[in-house]
Amino acid sequence: MSMGTEFEKFSIKGNSVDMAIGIVIGVAFGKIVSSFVNDVVMPPIGPLIGGADFNKLA
């Protein structure tokens, strides 16, 4: 088979669309978790361990 027909069969299956949606959702979820950790979890931990400033780590 030629490369064009193989790609055509792959694109018809819809796997590429599913993968793209998964990547977008994964990136968005990663940003939400990162924001939660940086803005909610880490600020109270800093004073508890001696006034560490975690803002400079990023």
Tens of pLDDT, residue by residue over 5-41, are: 887 777 777 777 788 888 999 999 999 999 998 889 8
| pLDDT value for 45 | 84
**Domain edges within the chain:** 3-56
Identify residue 21 by its one-letter amino acid code. I
Most distant CA atoms of the chain, gap in Å:
65
Tokens of 7: 């790609």
Predicted confidence (pLDDT) at residue 1 exceeds the cutoff of 70: no
Amino acid at 30: G
| Long-range CB contacts for residues 46-50, cutoff 8 Å, separation at least 24 | none
Distance CA 22, CA 15 (A): 10
Whether the pTM exceeds 0.85: the reply is no
